């Protein structure tokens, strides 16, 4: 990663006390605009140095996931009248080109921001966003909360994705924040070695990182939006940023763990998939997950796909049309919070 400063610039002064709005200017020279840039909106509310932690709040890492961006846009409406300790940096749509386009990846370069960290100073636009986050935003933050949903291709049970730190003191605070957020589910992810994510970048910088998946179908579900809004408020209260608490969640979070490749269900072939399960189902190893039909030979018997573990379905594909390697479902099994 280049040691030169990011090519992104901003008219926001992160150190200035008070409330500011502005943009990150992402350079983009193209046929219609030789000296153009993409303005990425952000806001900062800063109570002053030494008053409390800095929390970075982001949504729109993928552009077809809406509960997070809507929750953060609603928070932006309240920021000017809020009294806080510490500093809030709020970016409702981090991959703004993808968000405006309503797609998982950027229409500029097809970049999936959450698979491009640490990014590249002189790279494609999405790589440049990742580089700015890695070099400018993460060093400023103490806690990072990145809000996701399943997007167009997935429906995800409302779930906080946990990346607990190893040392005992920070781990205890981390699980305090997890319980304060109060999502119905908290899942310890296994991304099968994937280390290009925002979570991996935060871990490299030693930051506490919370992520969450709250819905899907590229919609904005009212119940999931309420979980996000109340969860954010409770976390800010637990950190001492806001003075007022929020009503406790209706129940304790359920802790689950993704256990390697056996908790992923993939399509082995192209075709049309008929699911034999629903989101939230408890399934058994060997149980039929669904049937895969070949549209080119519809007279052939469908291929049966089976689960490889006893677990709960936390995420399922919304698109019936599949290609080899498409993820059909993600499972997780109950675990303890330690």
- Residue 245 banded pLDDT, cuts 50, 70, 90: confident
Does position 189 have pLDDT exceeding 70, yes or no?
Answer: yes
State the pLDDT at residue 98: 98
- Decide: 319 and 303 in contact? Cβ < 8 Å: no
Question: CB burial class (10 A; 0-12, 13-18, 19+) of residue 128?
Answer: buried
Q: What is the mean pLDDT of the chain?
A: 95
Q: And the tokens for 303?
A: 């291929």
Percent pLDDT > 90 in the chain is: 91
Q: What's the average model confidence in pLDDT over 271-289?
A: 98
Could you tell me the domains of the chain? 9-257 (3.40.630.10), 264-334 (2.40.50.100)
Residue 307 pLDDT greater than 70, yes or no: yes
Q: Locate 148 and state its tokens.
A: 């996701």
Average pLDDT rounded to a whole number, residues 22-32: 95
pLDDT of residue 249: 85
Say yes or no to pLDDT of 137 above 90.
yes
Mean pLDDT, range 292-302, rounded to an integer = 97
- Starting at the edge strand found earlier in the chain, the sheet holding 288-293 runs 303-306, 288-293, 271-275, 321-322
- For the segment 36-58, the average pLDDT, to the nearest whole number, is 96
Rounded Cα gap, residues 18 and 24, in angstroms? 18
- Other Cβ atoms within 10 Å of 237 Cβ, number: 15
For residue 21, which phi and psi values (nearest 5 degrees)? -125, 155
Global pTM?
Answer: 0.95
Place of tokens 């703004």: 96
pLDDT interval class at 1 (50, 70, 90): low
């Amino acid at each position: 990663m280049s040691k030169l400063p990011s090519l992104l610039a901003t008219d926001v002064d992160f150190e200035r006390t008070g409330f500011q709005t502005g943009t990150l200017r992402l350079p983009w020279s193209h046929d219609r605009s030789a000296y153009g840039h993409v303005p990425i909106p952000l806001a900062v509310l800063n109570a002053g140095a030494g008053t409390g932690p800095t929390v970075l709040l982001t949504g729109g890492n993928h552009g077809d996931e809406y509960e997070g961006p809507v929750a953060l846009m609603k928070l932006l409406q309240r920021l000017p009248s809020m009294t806080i300790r510490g500093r809030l940096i709020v970016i409702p749509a981090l991959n703004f080109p993808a968000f405006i386009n309503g797609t998982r990846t950027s229409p500029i370069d097809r970049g999936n921001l959450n698979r491009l960290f640490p990014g590249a100073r002189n790279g494609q636009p999405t790589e440049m966003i990742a580089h700015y986050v890695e070099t400018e935003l993460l060093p400023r933050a103490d806690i990072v909360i990145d809000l996701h949903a399943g997007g167009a291709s997935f429906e995800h049970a409302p779930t906080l994705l946990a990346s607990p730190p190893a040392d005992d003191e920070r781990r205890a605070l981390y699980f305090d924040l997890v319980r304060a957020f109060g999502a119905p589910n908290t899942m310890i992810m296994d991304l099968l070695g994937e280390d290009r994510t925002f979570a991996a970048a935060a871990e490299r910088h030693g930051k506490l990182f919370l992520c969450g998946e709250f819905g899907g179908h590229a919609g904005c579900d009212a119940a999931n939006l309420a979980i996000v809004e109340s969860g954010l408020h409770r976390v800010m209260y637990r950190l001492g940023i806001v003075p007022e608490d929020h009503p406790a969640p209706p129940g304790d979070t359920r802790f689950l763990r993704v256990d390697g490749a056996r908790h992923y269900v993939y399509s082995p072939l192209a075709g049309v998939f008929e699911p034999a399960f629903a989101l939230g189902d408890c399934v058994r190893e060997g149980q039929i997950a669904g049937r895969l039909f070949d549209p080119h030979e519809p007279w052939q018997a469908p291929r049966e796909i089976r689960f490889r573990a006893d677990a709960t379905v936390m995420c399922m594909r919304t698109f019936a049309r599949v290609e080899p390697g498409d993820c059909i479902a993600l499972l997780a099994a109950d675990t303890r919070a330690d």
